[in-house]
Amino acid sequence: MSIDTLGVFRLTQPAKEERLLPEVAARLTAHRAGCPPYRRILDATGHGPDRDYRSLDALPWLPVRMFKTHALKSIPDEAVFKTLTSSGTTGEPSRIFLDQHAAAAQSRMLSRTMQTVLGPHRLPMLLVDTRAILADRRTFSARGAGVLGMMGFGRDHAWALDADGVPDHTTIEAFIRKNGGQPFLIFGFTFMVWQHLYELARDHGWDLGNGILVHSGGWKKLQDLAVSPAEFRERFTRDTGLTRIHNFYGMVEQIGTVFLEGPDGGGLYCPDFADVIIRDPRTWAVLPPGEPGLIELISTLPTSYPGNVLLTEDLGVIHGVDDGAWPGKRFEVIGRLPRAEARGCSDVYAVPAQGRAAR
Amino acid sequence: MTVRFPAGAIGLLPSADALTVGDPRVVRFLGALSARLLAPSVARAHPELGSLGFFLRRAELARTAETLRKTDQHTVRRPRGLIFHVPPANVDTVFVYSWALSALAGNRNVVRLSRRSAGAADAVLAALNDALADADPVIARTQRMVAYGRDDAVTAELSAACDLRVLWGGDASVTELRRFPLSPLARDLTFPDRSSFAALSATGWLAAGDDARRTAADGYANDVYWFDQAACSSPRALYVTGTPADVKKALESFRRELADAVARRGWTVDAAMAVEKRVRAYGLAADGRATGVRFPSNELAWLRLADAGEPPRGWLGTGVVAVARLDALRDLAPLITPRDQTLSHFGFGAGELRGLVEAVPGRGLDRIVPFGQALSFAPVWDGHDLLEEFTTRTTIRG
């Protein structure tokens, strides 16, 4: 693969760290000046203004849930161009504040990331979801936002599910008949793609060989069905001819930064402006490849809110560094940390813990 | 709706059998329960059940029963009738204390259990049902523990039928349950949200010997680990009194002792709790309420409060010590609000403690206990004498 087609997946790990460290450190300095609550956190945790950082893992991370409990922004109120919120189905939503510059930058970098696998032109797009998800504002959630965000990468959209969430054979078949002979884009949440598209395509003998599948949303439900990421790929390839399959991982708290599965599977790769660190949740030390821990995400993108170094509540493992189809670290998300529950004098009538929404 | 005790019993309401105040049949049953809870296997798995078993010791109960029966010649103390207990969902053992004292007072009881009950609560229910085999059948007829979810019909029926409704478990829960009418003769006994603190005298600590320090640190470790430090009585802030120099010195050694105490118990927190503590501690820092946040390990977090007058009153996670300095214990008095329940202490004299209580304006501070007893239940709770509440008095004039 030539350098050009690699898009934003070009830097080897040493080169990336060399580039990211000063950039992210400079961002933190700017957030310290622009976001007083963030400055107070840094000061209270021993990250004074004169502290010097020698490596990415030394940078102070912020628990991602801080964006649910606090309005953290580094820009004046009047500069806020867009406020993003995560799904509000479980507790408080995250609030992410973007100014015009940050909104443009996140959208541009997301495009460049996706173009790595989609190419420069918009492709005919099959959405493995229902159009109804956009219609009802009350249920407009992370799923709706995710779908809407991806729609811009395609054209001539077709919805694979009807208003009741039932697969619409006719529409899918018509889409494939019309577009199956050239590259086309399939997007959906991992579980829905598996549940609603895979079996149907296999049973109808549809040829998805020219498709590029981009999917996200976590493996929990597929794990329950004992379907591993490797099996997901293998069976799609074997039974539908689909080979270009890219899972991705990202969160609203680092909007625009997407960790994308490489062409060979093999894990999620970090774009050149981002990196991942796995930490031992007991000692908080950095874990080597092969050892699972909490995922810390680093990105240069956030300029309007202090989200450059985030400790997620997702568990992951790094599979390798500079040894895959693309350079840098490749990793896998393997689960989610449960929410700690107080056993104290909580209310009898308290709402029982609900499942977590997909980001 | 499931009757968890007596296991397999049918019907929501207990029979109308009469028990007496301090009924010997109840004393015997509670004694048998105590013995089961104090069994090493149970106490190992659920340390908090050890304290419960200790609380229900037969000799202790017999003494309490005796006191209850002893009244002057013009007074007869009598059971109140049917008591409906709604304990908090997540404090596994409160329902037993509330129920046991009420049963000892001779009442018929229905305890509502959370459907989420697990762990210690299940162990207690097993012990209760096991102890029933040797008990007088009147116990099974007069006592009920039922698990049900959000079922308004059941709550309404029990509320209408009872003579006293005991509501534990927080402001929202109390408000929600008060929607259900009681009979005109009945009333509520409520235990809403409370918050608690600890106080350490720097001079008292520095003067204490190794053993006393060790015991105090063990006690404080209990207080910040039992019930995940989320109970109303769990200390949310630690006030250290003395000169800045003494406080600094005392804290240095207290930190070490406390870390050792937690390590001695082998207590740890899981990754989810470690993250939870950081989210909440960082939140206090972001709000400017904590100027120092240190995590020497996941087990203990140390926060320096910006303002002694603005302590955290909400949950911060398990093993969090939020410290503020005061010149003297009496300086705590103006900071106390009606919501504040327990002060656990080390290194103060009895006079200082009494002086503090007398200096608190209005309600506030219902319990003053040594380190290590913050979570120990007592028959006087939130200022209410439960045995008084669970009985009525008939006065007789000849």
Report the half-sphere exposure of B383 (CA within 13 A, side-chain side).
12
CA nearest to B89, candidates A127, A280, A345, A225: A345
| DSSP at A1 | -
Please enumerate in sequence order all residues whose Cβ is within 8 A of that of A8, keeping only pairs 6 or more positions apart, or say none. A109, A112, A113, A116, A271, A272, A273
Report the C-alpha gap between A187 and A148 in whole angstroms. Answer: 11
Nearest CB to B272; choose among A40, A311, A338: A338
**pTM for the whole thing?**
0.89
The residue among A171, A169, A166, A238 whose CA lies nearest residue A207 is A238
Q: Would B54 be classed as within a structural domain?
A: yes
CA atoms within 13 A on the CB side of B2: 10
Q: Is A218 left (phi over 0), alpha (psi -120 to 50) or beta?
A: left
Sign of CA dihedral B96, B102, B107, B111: negative
Q: What's the pLDDT at A348?
A: 37
* Highest CATH level, class, for A1-94+270-337: alpha beta
Neighboring chain B residues of A63 at a CB cutoff of 8 Å: 275, 278-279, 282
Domain that holds residue B83: 2-193+382-395
Nearest CB partner across the interface for B279, out of A65, A345, A352: A65
Q: pLDDT at position B90, please?
A: 64
Question: Is residue B183 domain-shared with residue B244, that is, in the same domain?
Answer: no
Q: Identify the sign of the CA torsion A136, A142, A145, A149.
A: negative
DSSP code of residue A199: H
Question: Do B270 and B349 share a domain, yes or no?
Answer: yes
Place of tokens 């005991």: B166
**Does residue A136 or residue A187 have the better pLDDT?**
A187
- CATH classification at residue B292: 3.40.309.10
Rounded mean pLDDT for each run of 10 residues along chain B, 398 residues in total: 89 88 95 94 83 88 86 90 88 84 96 80 93 95 91 94 92 91 96 95 98 98 91 95 98 98 93 95 98 96 97 95 98 96 98 96 93 92 94 92
pLDDT tens-digit series, residues A145-168? 778 888 999 999 999 999 898 999
Let me know whether B158 and B187 are in one domain.
yes
In B, which residues are within 8 Å of A281 by CB distance? 271, 274-275, 298
pLDDT at res. B226: 87
Separation between Cα atoms, residue B105 and residue B97, nearest integer Å: 12
Residue A90 reports pLDDT greater than 60: no
Contacts of A224 (CB under 8 A, 6+ apart): none
**Assigned domain for B375 exists:** no
Residue B323: predicted pLDDT:
98
The Cα angle at residue A274 between residues A310 and A88, in degrees rounded to 5: 45
Chain A CA closest to residue B287: A37
Which residues in chain A have their CB less than 8 angstroms from residue B114's CB? 348
Quick check: A340 and B270 CB within 8 A?
yes
B170 and B277 assigned to the same domain: no
- CATH number of this structure's domain A121-249: 3.40.50
Count of structural domains, chain B: 2
Query: What is the greatest pairwise CA distance in chain A?
Result: 64
With an 8 Å Cβ cutoff, are A66 and B193 in contact? no
For residue A327, give every residue at least 6 positions away whose Cβ sits within 8 Å of its Cβ, in sequence order, or none. A9, A10, A11, A12, A13, A16
CB contact under 8 A, A346 and B228: no
Tell me which H or E stretch contains A102: helix A100-118
pLDDT at B386: 94
Domain range annotation of chain A: 1-94+270-337, 121-249
pLDDT in tens, A298-346: 999 999 999 999 999 999 999 999 999 999 999 999 988 887 766 555 4
Between positions 140 and 159 of B, the ones with CB within 8 A of A are 150
Residues B36 and B170 in one domain: yes
Asked if the C-beta of B118 comes within 8 angstroms of chain A's C-beta atoms, the answer is no
Q: Which residues of A touch B290 (CB under 8 A)?
A: 44
Q: Is the pLDDT of residue A351 over 90?
A: no
Residue B312 CA to residue B329 CA, distance in Å, equals 18
Domain co-membership, B26 together with B69: yes
Give the pLDDT confidence score for residue A149 in this predicted structure. 82
Is residue A142 within a helix (H) or strand (E), and if so which, with residue range?
Answer: helix A142-151
The ipTM assigned to this model is 0.90
How far apart are alpha carbons B22 and A169 in whole angstroms? 74
Within a domain: residue B376? no
Determine the average pLDDT of the residues in A200-211: 94
Residue at token pair 């046991």:
B100
Do A84 and A250 form a contact (C-beta atoms < 8 A)?
no
Q: For position A85, what pLDDT does the model report?
A: 84
In a domain, B377, yes or no: no
In a shared domain, residues B205 and B324: yes
Is there a single domain that holds both residue B339 and residue B388? Answer: no
3-state secondary structure of A215: strand
Give the Cα separation of B244 and B308 in Å (integer): 14
Q: How far is A304 from chain B (nearest CA, A)?
A: 17
pLDDT band at A359; cut points 50, 70, 90: very low
- Look at residue B183 and tell me if it is in a domain: yes
pLDDT at B21: 95
**Within 13 A of A57's CA, how many CA atoms are on the CB side?**
11
Amino acid, single-letter form, for residue A175:
F
- Indicate left, alpha or beta for A119 from its phi (over 0: left) and psi (-120 to 50: alpha): left
Is B184 a member of any domain? yes
- Residue in chain A lying closest to B273 (CA): A340
**Burial state string for B230-265 with b = 16 or more CB within 10 A and e = fewer than 16:** bbbbbbbbbbbbbeeebbeebbeebbebbbebbeee
Q: For chain A, how far is it from start to end, CA to CA, in angstroms? A: 32
- Residues of chain B contacting A313 with CB distance shorter than 8 Å: 272, 275
Q: What is the pLDDT of residue B312?
A: 96
Does B87 lie in the same domain as B10? yes
Q: Is residue B20 part of a domain?
A: yes
Extract the tokens encoding B176.
């929600």
| Same domain, residue pair B301 and B343 | yes
pLDDT in the model for residue A347: 38
Q: What is the CATH number of the domain that holds B9?
A: 3.40.605.10
Looking at the fold, whether B282 and B222 belong to one and the same domain comes out as yes
Asked whether residue B263 falls in the same domain as residue B186, the answer is no
Q: Does any domain span residue B115?
A: yes
